[in-house]
Amino acid sequence: MAYDVLSEEQREIRELVRTLARERIAPRAAEIDESHEFPWDVVELFREHGIFGLLFDEEHGGTGTGTLLALIAIEEVSKVCATSGLILAVQELGSLGLKLAGTEEQQARYLPKLASGEWLCAYALSEAGSGSDSAAMRTTARRDNGEYVLNGGKRFITNAGVAGLYTVFAKTDPDAGHPGISAFVVEADTPGFEVARLEPKMGISGSTTGELVFEDCRVPEGNRLGAEGEGFKIAMRILDRSRPGVAAQGLGIGQGATDYALEYAKSRETMGKPIAQHQLIAAKLADMETKCEAARGLLYSFGQMVDAGVDGPELTKASAMAKLYCTDVAMEVSTEAVQILGGYGYIREYPVERMMRDAKITQIYEGTNEIQRLVIAREMLKENRAFLLAGVG
Ligand SMILES: Cc1cc2nc3c(=O)[nH]c(=O)nc-3n(C[C@H](O)[C@H](O)[C@H](O)COP(=O)(O)OP(=O)(O)OC[C@H]3O[C@@H](n4cnc5c(N)ncnc54)[C@H](O)[C@@H]3O)c2cc1C
């Protein structure tokens, strides 16, 4: 059993999430994947048990139990159903703009609704022509009579059509790059805002991914987060804290696949013994477990850093490393799990093919893993390690 960093209280909450995941969500996972329907029953389960509250401070109706525990909750749920784990990760992603840059009034207006799960939320940065390169975005927000008029579109937005509140990034100065971007919260029933279509996908099929359209969509000035032109900074600060949610989803998928493959390998026999006793399979299992545990180390250390109040470049780097490693491990380990199950791994009757399909997106969204490598290297290049060279004769 791995060394446990959690306090007694944290362990109890983890146990609650684990039990809900195993008893209530796991039996639904294959159905959610097959039906491609958003699992409102899982949202209801989270609401009933106060699970959304794990992502929020006490003053806004949450539990105030911190980031590490929130990440663990996402991991536990994702072990059995990545679509359901994503519901929690995106509640964090979509609300971080308010938490980090919202005024007290904005926070009081929206955060309690998000902490209870009454409203789901979303984060709308990407567009058809701007994913990794957000400065290239074309959605505009023009100031007019105490309001902003939004025009344009967003693509690939998780929770499109199910969210009550969207954090939207738009250019208040279309000629500027990053400094031209501002952030807004847009309520789902705002006239001029529409979800144009939902995308069919390889994995996380129960999650909605959609295109948003803004046509002369008027939002009050009071819905702007931070100052005009601060949108890009806010978007990046959000991602520093939200990417580990994707890391937790990836780790959950990886560990879930490892657990399943282990049990299978103990009972499936070839050449007179369980396949787990063939050295090549045993080695795979050992590598899978080790990679998951290494990934967990990066993820939990990030959670502890946030809970200890660490911010700035150190957090940016730790966040990118956790996202990069946990999600690469998710892909690698879930692919190995399919291999361990042989032909059975490839068919829908067993969950590992779903896990492998679900794992792929974790390497892509909230900044591709190529972008994470750029971020990590950029932070490394700012560091001075010359003292090491000085000591080398
Ligand atoms: C299911 C799903 C859900 C999503 N949810 C959301 C959401 O909720 N909100 C949101 O805003 N977005 C969301 N996205 C969008 C996602 O974040 C982007 O797809 C992702 O950031 C990549 O952008 P892109 O697709 O435009 O690829 P591109 O930016 O066009 O990149 C294409 C390829 O080039 C690589 N690349 C790009 N630039 C560089 C570079 N400088 N150096 C090296 N390699 C580079 C990329 O890593 C990638 O491999 C979602 C996407 C999907 C598929």
Chain segment 87-106, per-residue pLDDT in tens: 999 999 999 999 999 999 99
Tell me, yes or no, if 8 is annotated catalytic: no
Is-above-0.95 flag for pTM?
A: yes
Between the CA of residue 342 and those of 126, 148, 187, 352, what are the distances in Å? 38, 56, 48, 11
Chain segment 46-63, per-residue pLDDT in tens: 999 999 999 999 999 999
Give SS3 for 162.
coil
**Fold designation for 121-228:** Butyryl-CoA Dehydrogenase, subunit A; domain 2 (2.40.110)
Spatial distance between the Cα atoms of 155 and 125, rounded to a whole number of angstroms: 8
Backbone angles phi, psi at 185, to 5 degrees: -110, 135
Q: Which is nearest to 73 in space by CA: 318, 314, 252?
A: 252
Taking CB atoms and a 6 Å cutoff, what residues make up the pocket around ligand 1? 122-126, 131-133, 156-158, 201, 209, 361, 364-368, 370-371, 374
Beta-ladder partners of 194: 213
Residue intervals of the chain classified under CATH 1.10.540.10 are: 8-116
**Sequential DSSP letters for 191-219:** TTEEEEEE---SS-TTS-EEEEEEEEEEE
Four-point Cα dihedral 19, 20, 26, 32, nearest 10: -170
Chain segment 171-202, per-residue pLDDT in tens: 999 999 999 999 999 999 999 999 999 999 99
**Fold designation for 8-116:** Butyryl-Coa Dehydrogenase, subunit A; domain 1 (1.10.540)
The alpha carbon of residue 209 and the mean position of all alpha carbons in its chain are separated, in whole angstroms, by 13
Spatial distance between the Cα atoms of 322 and 248, rounded to a whole number of angstroms: 9
Give SS3 for 392.
coil
Q: Which atom of ligand 1 is nearest to the CA of 93?
A: 8
Give SS3 for 19.
helix
Residue intervals of the chain classified under CATH 1.20.140.10 are: 232-384
Spatial distance between the Cα atoms of 151 and 180, rounded to a whole number of angstroms: 15
Residue intervals of the chain classified under CATH 2.40.110.10 are: 121-228
Chain segment 118-133, per-residue pLDDT in tens: 999 999 999 999 999 9
Spatial distance between the Cα atoms of 187 and 189, rounded to a whole number of angstroms: 6
Chain segment 275-332, per-residue pLDDT in tens: 999 999 999 999 999 999 999 999 999 999 999 999 999 999 999 999 999 999 999 9
Between the CA of residue 186 and those of 39, 117, 141, 191, what are the distances in Å? 23, 17, 12, 10
To test ligand 1's pocket by mutation, which of 83, 249, 364, 373 has the most ligand atoms within 8 angstroms of CB? Answer: 364
**Dmax of the chain from CA atoms?**
79
Spatial distance between the Cα atoms of 391 and 393, rounded to a whole number of angstroms: 6
What is the pLDDT confidence band of residue 5, given thresholds at 50, 70 and 90? confident
For domain 232-384, give the CATH superfamily.
Answer: Butyryl-CoA Dehydrogenase, subunit A, domain 3 (1.20.140.10)
* CA 128 to centroid of ligand 1, rounded, Å: 10
Beta-ladder partners of 151: 140
Element at 139 (helix H, strand E): none
In this structure, are residues 276 and 263 in contact, taking their beta carbons and an 8 Å threshold?
Answer: no
